[in-house]
């Protein structure tokens, strides 16, 4: 089997820096985790807050701390640092090879979609951002690491795409349409979903947008682990998106 994890990420139109921070880390007992932090607003100060939270979570996960405990710790840490004046939406998506499960940890009201055996489930339970108050808990969903499982999550910039123009995305049917294609890769789904959101915002994204897709594929191509990063940048300035 093979785990495919893909990310596509774009900065708000006119903003110098994305307020979304995303990092991946290998789990010490096997597997991979993806941590996504979305600070309220865009730009350098938002980036600094989301990146502080994501770094704390990554560091705890790589020490073997469980996802739920890492989210709580990051919340307390942000609350202690900023006294409740800053909050960050946080998602942790882990493929844990030790427990053979996928663990989805949400401190983010934006829904997460899970497709297993031709059925798409939408997790959209109440969920609070980290750092706003004491005793914040993540909402955690754990499912078996079965082949043909797909998890899709995104930041609120994607959810609200097109809102200015009176349009919205029907995520469930859109994701179903992508999955109906011939063995779509995780990267294909992430790219397609982000492109769709960008089109609705007329290619001038109204907020930072990030899409994360994880797929469990029945048959691995080979026994090789792969990792690819593509980072567009401008040579004139330190602007990056």
Burial (0-12, 13-18, 19+ Cβ within 10 Å), 208 = buried
Residue whose CB is less far from a copy of itself, 1 or 122? 1
Q: Which listed residue (35, 104, 186, 197) binds a copy of itself by CB under 8 A?
A: 186
Q: Tell me the torsion sign for CA atoms 65, 143, 91, 25.
A: positive
Residue 139 binds to a copy of itself (criterion: CB under 8 A): no
Taking the least distance from each CB to a copy of itself, the nearer of 84 and 147 is 147
Q: Could you tell me which residues are beta bridge partners of residue 81?
A: none
Distance between CA atoms of 201 and 58, rounded to whole angstroms? 32
Q: Quick check: helix, strand or coil at residue 90?
A: strand
Binding mask 217-236 for a copy of itself (x = CB under 8 A): ---xxxxxxxxxxxxxxxx-
Instruction: Please say whether the dihedral angle defined by the alpha carbons of residues 15, 21, 24 and 25, taken in this order, is positive or negative.
Output: positive
User: Per CB under 8 A, which of residues 77..116 are in contact with a copy of itself?
Assistant: 95, 97-98, 100
CB of 75 closer than 8 Å to CB of 108: no
Verify binding: residue 9, a copy of itself, rule CB under 8 A: yes
Residue 196 binding a copy of itself, by CB under 8 A: no
Residue with smaller CB distance to a copy of itself, 60 or 86: 60
39: Cβ–Cβ under 8 A, 6 or more apart, which residues? 19, 20, 21, 46, 47, 49, 50, 86, 88, 89
User: Which lies closer to a copy of itself via its Cβ, residue 59 or residue 116?
Assistant: 59
Position 11 contacts a copy of itself (CB under 8 A) = yes
CB of 26 to a copy of itself, least distance (A): 7
51 binds a copy of itself (CB under 8 A): yes
Interface residue with a copy of itself among 40, 43, 62, 121 (CB under 8 A) is 62
Radius of gyration of the chain (CA): 17
Residues that bind a copy of itself (CB under 8 A): 1-11, 21-26, 28-32, 51, 55, 58-59, 62-63, 95, 97-98, 100, 145, 186-187, 190-191, 194, 220-235, 238, 240-241
């Amino acid at each position: 089997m093979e785990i495919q994890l893909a990310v596509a990420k774009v900065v708000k139109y006119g903003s110098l820096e994305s307020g979304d921070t995303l990092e991946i880390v290998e789990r010490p007992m096997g597997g991979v985790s993806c941590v996504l932090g979305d600070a309220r607003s865009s730009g350098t100060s938002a980036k600094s807050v989301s990146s502080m939270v994501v770094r704390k979570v990554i560091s705890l996960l790589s020490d073997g701390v469980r996802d739920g405990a890492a989210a709580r710790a990051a919340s307390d840490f942000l609350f202690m640092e900023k006294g409740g004046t800053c909050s960050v939406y946080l998602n942790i998506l882990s493929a844990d090879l030790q427990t053979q499960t996928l663990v989805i940890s949400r401190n983010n009201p934006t829904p997460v979609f899970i497709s297993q055996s031709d059925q798409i489930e939408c997790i959209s339970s109440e969920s609070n951002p980290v750092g706003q108050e004491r005793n914040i808990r993540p909402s955690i969903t754990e499912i078996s690491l079965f082949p043909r499982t797909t998890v899709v999550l995104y930041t609120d910039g994607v959810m609200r795409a097109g809102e200015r123009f009176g349009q919205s995305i029907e995520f469930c049917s859109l994701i179903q349409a992508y999955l109906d294609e011939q063995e779509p890769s995780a990267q294909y789904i992430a790219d397609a979903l982000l492109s769709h959101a960008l089109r609705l915002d007329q290619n001038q994204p109204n907020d930072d947008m990030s899409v994360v897709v994880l797929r469990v594929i029945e048959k691995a191509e080979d026994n090789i682990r792969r990792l690819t990063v593509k980072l567009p940048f401008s040579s004139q300035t330190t602007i990056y998106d």
